[in-house]
């Protein structure tokens, strides 16, 4: 890998970020943030999920809420569906496509929020989680990429990274969205 290839990573990321930075996308982040804050203030919780790098993002989101982001505040009710014993148990007994939906069936409640992350918008286990969340009358926020996939029409708020050839560009946008959401939540939760 040459320094030009390395530089290309940063210039491509800057291009995608500039494409994403629109009033419409910023409004969607604000809308999602308000839904999360309202849920937390009324005793709800946030459940996040994703596969691979998106699972890491889901975990990062939850731990920043239960821990801290920038300022000291009370711990907030958030959990990612990432327990290996749950995933392997459900994967073995029901199949990989049910690993998130079974968790939602057991833990999700009306007016909780599901933050579902899929760079394609078509991950079957994420779609199943959304369906379970709908049955529980949860609020669904989706972080997607490409064309939004099947998730685009299933979420209360869908925030889509601009189309790019590889998932890493969408993941870079997703982490920016996650940090913006956390900052919004942390700033507004005690108001």
Task: Calculate the average pLDDT of the chain.
Answer: 96
**Cα dihedral value 12, 60, 148, 52, nearest 10:** 90
pLDDT digits (tens, 9 = 90+) for 18-42: 999 999 999 999 999 999 999 999 9
Q: Does an H or E element contain 82, and which?
A: none
Residue 191 has pLDDT above 70, yes or no: no
State the sign of the Cα–Cα–Cα–Cα dihedral 17, 48, 155, 140. Answer: negative
45-65 mean pLDDT: 97
pLDDT band per the 50, 70, 90 thresholds, residue 106: very high
- At residue 180, φ and ψ (nearest 5 deg) are -65, -40
162-182 mean pLDDT: 93
Report the CATH number that the domain containing residue 115 is assigned in CATH. 3.40.50.10490
Residue with tokens 């972080």: 143
Q: Give strand ranges (E) for the chain.
A: 46-49, 78-80, 113-117, 139-144, 157-160
Total domain count, the chain = 1
Print the domain residue range for 171. 3-188
Residue with tokens 């685009």: 152
pLDDT digits (tens, 9 = 90+) for 114-166: 999 999 999 999 999 999 999 999 999 999 999 999 999 999 999 999 988 88
pLDDT for position 1: 67
Tell me which residue of 106, 156, 102 sits closest to 134, measured CA to CA: 156
pLDDT for position 157: 98
**Residue 37, Cα to own-chain centre: how many angstroms?**
15
């Amino acid at each position: 890998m040459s320094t030009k290839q390395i530089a290309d990573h940063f210039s491509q990321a800057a291009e995608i970020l500039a494409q994403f930075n629109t009033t419409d996308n910023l409004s969607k982040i604000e809308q999602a943030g308000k839904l999360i804050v309202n849920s937390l203030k009324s005793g709800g919780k946030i459940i996040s999920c994703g596969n691979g790098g998106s699972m890491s993002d889901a975990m990062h989101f939850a731990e920043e809420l239960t821990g801290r982001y920038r300022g000291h505040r009370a711990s907030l009710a958030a959990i990612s569906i990432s327990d290996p014993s749950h995933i392997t148990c459900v994967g073995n007994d029901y199949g990989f496509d049910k690993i998130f939906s079974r968790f939602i069936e057991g833990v999700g409640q009306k007016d909780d929020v599901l933050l579902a992350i899929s760079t394609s918008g078509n991950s079957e286990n994420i779609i199943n989680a959304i369906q379970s969340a709908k049955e529980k009358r949860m609020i669904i926020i989706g972080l997607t990429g490409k064309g939004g996939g099947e998730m685009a029409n299933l979420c209360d708020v869908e925030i889509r990274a601009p189309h790019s050839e590889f998932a890493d560009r969408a993941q870079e946008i997703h982490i920016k969205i996650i940090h913006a959401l956390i900052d919004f939540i942390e700033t507004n939760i005690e108001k």
